[in-house]
Amino acid sequence: MSEFGTKLEDILRRKPEEWEHAPAGEREEPAEEGLLFAEEPEAEAPDVSQARSVLTELRPAGVGELLVTDVWLAPEPREETEAGEGEPPDRQREWETRQELRELGLLRERPLLSHDARFEAYWGQAKETKEAAVNAIIDPYTELAAAFADTDVERMADHRRAATEYGKAGDELLQLGRAYVAIGRQKGARSVLEAAAKAEPLHPEVWYNLGVVRLFGRASAGARKAFEAALHQTPGDFRLQLALAVACYHVKDYTAAAEHFRRLAGGSGFRATARSMLACCHRMQGSWDEARIELGFLKEAEPGDWEAMAQQCADCVERGEQKRTGRLRVRRRASRMWKALAAVAAGGVWLAYAAAQDLFEKQGQWATVPLFVLALLLARMLRGMSGKELPGEFGNAEQGLPCWQSTSWMRPRKSEF
**pLDDT digits (tens), the chain, 417 positions:** 555 565 566 666 665 555 545 544 444 444 445 444 455 555 566 889 999 999 999 999 877 899 999 999 998 876 654 444 556 678 888 888 888 888 777 888 899 999 999 989 999 999 999 999 999 999 999 999 999 999 988 998 998 888 888 778 889 999 999 999 999 999 999 999 999 999 999 999 999 999 999 999 999 999 999 999 999 999 888 999 999 999 999 999 999 999 999 999 999 999 999 999 999 999 999 999 999 999 999 999 999 999 999 999 999 999 888 887 765 555 556 666 666 667 666 666 656 666 656 655 556 566 666 666 667 666 666 655 555 666 678 887 888 999 999 999 999 987 654
Q: How many domains does the chain have?
A: 2
Same domain, residue pair 53 and 167: yes
Domain-ending residue, one of 161, 194, 219: 219
- pTM > 0.85: yes or no: no
Residues 65, 59: Cα–Cα separation, whole Å: 5
Among 219, 238, 253, give the residue marking a domain's end.
Answer: 219
With respect to residue 148, please indicate whether it lies within any of the assigned structural domains: yes
Are the CB atoms for 366 and 17 separated by under 8 Å? no
**Residue 236 within any structural domain of the chain:** no
Residues facing residue 227 across a β-bridge: none
Q: Is residue 398 part of a domain?
A: no
Angle between helical axes of 254-264 and 238-250 (0-180°, round to 10): 160
CA distance 352 to 176: 65
CA–CA separation, 206 vs 173, rounded Å? 9
- Does one domain contain both 190 and 45? yes
Residue 130 lies in a domain: yes
Instruction: Outline where 147-287 has alpha helix (H).
Output: 156-162, 169-182, 186-199, 204-216, 220-233, 238-250, 254-264, 269-284
Domain extent, residue 203, equals 1-74+91-219
In a domain, 65, yes or no: yes
3-state secondary structure of 114: strand
> Which of 219, 243, 268 is at the close of a domain?
219
232 in a structural domain: no
Count CB atoms within 10 A of the CB of residue 126: 25
Residues 214 and 329 in one domain: no
Asked, for residue 184, whether it belongs to a domain, the answer is: yes
For the chain, the C-alpha Rg in angstroms (whole number) is 25
Phi then psi for 164, rounded to 5 degrees?
-85, -10
Residue 19's φ and ψ, nearest 5 degrees, are -60, -35
198 and 337 in a common domain: no
- Other Cβ atoms less than 10 A from the Cβ of 299: the count is 14
The answer to whether residue 260 is domain-embedded is no
